Amino acid sequence: MKKSVGIWVVAFILSLLPLGYVTAEFFKLPLIWDPLYGYLSLGFGLVCTLPLWGAIWARALKRTNKQDVLGAIALFLSYGFAFSSGDADYYWQPTAITSLLLLGGWVLHAQLNVIPAQVKSLAALLPEKATLVEGRELEHIAARDLEIGQIVLVRPGSTIPADGYVIQGHSLVSQLQITGETESIMKNPGDWVLAGSENLAGRAAANAPLTIRISAVGTDLLVHEMDRSLSVKDETPPKFTSLSAVSSTTLTISTISVALIAAGYQFVVTASMTAEFSVAVGVLLAGQVTLVSRSVALAAEASAIKVKKLGVMVRSRQSFEMLSKINHVVFKKTGVLTKGHSSVGKIHIARNTSIGSESELLALAASVEMGTSNELGHLIIQEAAKRGLELPKVTDFAPIPGLGVSAIFDGSLVQVGNSGMVNVTGVNINPYDLFQVSTAYSEGSSVVFVSIDELLVGYIEFPDELRANSAEAIVDLSGKQAITILSGDATSLVEKIAQKLGLSDFAAEVLSTRQADWIKEHQSSGSKVLLVADAHYDSAALAESDVGLAFGAGPSVHSDSADLVLVSQNPLVVPKLIALSKQTQSRTLWNLVLGLSISIGLMACGFLGFSAPAIALVGLVSSWFLMSRIVRLVK
């Protein structure tokens, strides 16, 4: 039991002693009654209220709950009248109120502890030791002493100590403890790996040591950034904060006013000071018990924890809240709905060309791609290096924006790029090669074309396939938001992917330089766009969208192009994230409405003369119900 809850439990149990004694006198049960014992019981009950006063004072310093003023006034009036009047029949009311408020504090703190109990520090997953590779020597050092650029060896069954790139080895890596992904990921040379993930143990070929070059250390590790994302502080407070503050202030002032009116009315009608104070205390408690002012902050905290459990890093709470208004979800195709390209596939020599072999074509393409940062270009360069090819010397590198890259080789213009390059530059293609390209598209492969002086000399396939959860994610979103696949790939290839997912809306052959403009065009027609894309290659489009969700943990995950980062590679998280945002906003608003309604109803009961302890009891049950609605967001 946590200390904060324990204090409330002890105080509640002790408060039952004076309550039992004065209640026995109220019902005239046989016991030894003495006015001195009555005063001592009141005094003991007042001592038991110390946790209540402590909580009121703590929140007053933070200015987080104006309604606490009502509880303080109610306790002061109730005990003050009991001591001053000496009316033994009234003693049970302040002691009963004390016990009920302490019980409420116990229940509240127990529920509040449920929320932080769901938080698991990802930094705790990091190993204490790392195996440093120094030439041919291995040295065991503290993981916290690692530096960027150093090389570490991670054996099967060991935890990766820092973010970095695999430079040698092939092995299955699990990110289950970080992102919740149950499916392990095969990591190959060039792949980015996440500190805290595990190189899975086993005797199969898929379980091998990984040699990793460190790219981030210390507080720059992604797991640390994910931990910090729980306490993200925006200039803009959570939605409904202003409404909550105004409601709480208005409720506090209104409750005090109604309490004064009710007390005056009771005094005129009954001429009884006991009735006057009972009604006033009842009305004050009615306005205090429903925690209107705390609903927004608690809902924001609960949803932040749930988001982290989904494997999402939040840099802007405002962007998370904006998800509830999204009516158009745009997915990039490659690497989001599909697994992305991990290797070079078939290499084709075009008909009627001077290129003599696949190796010659690959070496020429790799030489030209040295002047680009394109993902497929890197794969071409890696494949050429793997085959040990000698690259020809080329000059005058020039990017073809959104299409490819060009260079001069032996006095001829060499161009390497996508289908858009072929169409724009007028590259001639043999009908047989067109058929081969069409076949590659039908199989889901992307194609890079190589031309010399606007004559196609060859083309390279890059196999790709849909992710396992892509279709399910589309089904979950269908009928709720418009869904579009956005890609720079050929129309026939993107259309095939769309058909497999049951979608009719797609935008193909949209150059990377125009994708931000494509987003703007749809926003101008009233769309609130969520773009799910790569943080590096699609940074401009992510920044332009209403909400940008960077997909997957990669080397560019630390960039600021997206306010939300889906560290896992599970498209199914997207509909869950949107649903959570809507659920958070809905429950927060309804909690405010229900809290105000319950308080107003209880104030009416207090005005009509219902006993203050009865009002406190109903308020306790109501607060538990409202708090449970928020706690369920985490589960």
What is the predicted pLDDT for the residue at 289?
64
Average pLDDT of span 262-273? 84
Residue where one domain finishes, among candidates 543, 567, 591:
567
Q: Look at strands 482-486 and 328-332 and give their pairing.
A: parallel
Same domain, 607 and 479: no
Same domain, 38 and 106: yes
Q: What is the CATH number of the domain that holds 525?
A: 3.40.50.1000
Same domain, 255 and 240: yes
Contact (CB, 8 A) for 256 and 72: no
pLDDT in tens, 247-260: 778 888 888 899 99
Q: What is the mean pLDDT of the chain?
A: 85
Task: Give the separation between CA 621 and CA 619, rounded to whole angstroms.
Answer: 5
Contact (CB, 8 A) for 432 and 350: no
Average pLDDT of span 595-620? 87
Same domain, 238 and 101: yes
Task: Give the separation between CA 485 and CA 321, rounded to whole angstroms.
Answer: 24
Same domain, 115 and 242: yes
Q: Is 539 part of any domain? A: yes
> How many other CB atoms sit within 10 Å of the CB of residue 86?
11
Same domain, 477 and 562: yes
Its domain, for residue 43, covers 3-119+233-300+582-631
pLDDT in tens, 306-360: 888 888 888 888 888 899 999 999 999 988 998 887 789 999 999 888 888 999 9
User: Phi then psi for 567, rounded to 5 degrees?
Assistant: -65, -35
Task: Give the separation between CA 247 and CA 255, rounded to whole angstroms.
Answer: 12
Q: Look at strands 564-566 and 312-314 and give their pairing.
A: antiparallel
What is the predicted pLDDT for the residue at 560?
62
Residues in Cβ contact with 514 at an 8 Å cutoff, skipping those fewer than 6 apart: 402
Residue where one domain finishes, among candidates 513, 533, 567:
567
What is the predicted pLDDT for the residue at 1?
42
Task: Give the separation between CA 200 and CA 21, rounded to whole angstroms.
Answer: 65
Which helix (H) or strand (E) segment holds residue 547: the answer is: strand 547-551
Contact (CB, 8 A) for 528 and 328: yes
Nearest to 98 by CA among 58, 40, 37, 50: 50
Q: Which residue has the higher pLDDT, 190 or 427?
A: 427
Nearest to 366 by CA among 399, 401, 335, 405: 405
Please determine, for residue 157, whether its predicted confidence score (pLDDT) is greater than 50: yes
- What are the DSSP E strand ranges found in 192-265? 192-193, 198-199, 210-216
pLDDT in tens, 518-540: 999 999 999 999 999 987 778 88
Nearest to 230 by CA among 110, 121, 112, 319: 121
Percent over 70 (pLDDT), the chain: 93
Task: Give the separation between CA 229 and CA 274, rounded to whole angstroms.
Answer: 53
Beta sheet of 185-187, edge-to-edge order: 185-187, 171-174, 198-199
Same domain, 354 and 458: yes
Same domain, 555 and 622: no
> How many other CB atoms sit within 10 Å of the CB of residue 170?
16
pLDDT in tens, 365-382: 999 998 676 778 888 998
Same domain, 237 and 215: no
> How many other CB atoms sit within 10 Å of the CB of residue 614?
16
Same domain, 247 and 259: yes
Q: Is 183 part of any domain? A: yes
Instruction: Evaluate if pTM is beyond 0.85.
Output: no
Q: What is the CATH number of the domain that holds 374?
A: 3.40.1110.10
Q: Which amino acid is at 571?
A: P
What is the predicted pLDDT for the residue at 177?
83
Residue where one domain finishes, among candidates 514, 541, 567:
567
- Size of the chain, expressed as the number of residues it contains: 635
Same domain, 108 and 7: yes
Task: Give the separation between CA 404 and CA 256, rounded to whole angstroms.
Answer: 72
Q: Is 576 part of any domain? A: no
What is the predicted pLDDT for the residue at 558?
53
Please determine, for residue 288, whether its predicted confidence score (pLDDT) is greater than 80: no
Q: Is 560 part of any domain? A: yes
Average pLDDT of span 164-168? 90
What is the predicted pLDDT for the residue at 204?
64
Residues in Cβ contact with 355 at an 8 Å cutoff, skipping those fewer than 6 apart: 349, 361, 364, 457, 458
Distances (CA, A) of 443 to 22, 253, 462, 503, 551: 83, 69, 10, 18, 24
Same domain, 101 and 80: yes
Q: What is the number of domains present in the chain?
A: 4
Task: Give the separation between CA 206 and CA 209, rounded to whole angstroms.
Answer: 10
Tokens coding 282: 């009842």
pLDDT in tens, 86-125: 888 889 999 999 998 898 888 888 877 776 666 677 888 8
Residues in Cβ contact with 241 at an 8 Å cutoff, skipping those fewer than 6 apart: 296, 297
Average pLDDT of span 443-452? 90
Q: Which residue in this structure is represented by tokens 């150059």?
A: 511
Q: Is 306 part of any domain? A: no
Q: Is 256 part of any domain? A: yes
Contact (CB, 8 A) for 519 and 541: yes
Average pLDDT of span 561-579? 87
Q: Is 418 part of any domain? A: yes
Which of 50-64, 231-245, 485-499 is predicted with the least confidence, judged by mean pLDDT?
Answer: 231-245
Which of 105-114, 410-419, 608-617 is predicted with the least confidence, judged by mean pLDDT?
Answer: 105-114
How remote is the C-alpha of 600 from its chain's centroid?
36
User: Which 3 state secondary structure label does DSSP give 464?
Assistant: coil
What is the predicted pLDDT for the residue at 15?
93
pLDDT in tens, 1-34: 454 788 999 999 999 999 998 888 877 777 777 8
Q: What is the CATH number of the domain that holds 191?
A: 2.70.150.10
User: Phi then psi for 2, rounded to 5 degrees?
Assistant: -75, 150
Q: Is 572 part of any domain? A: no
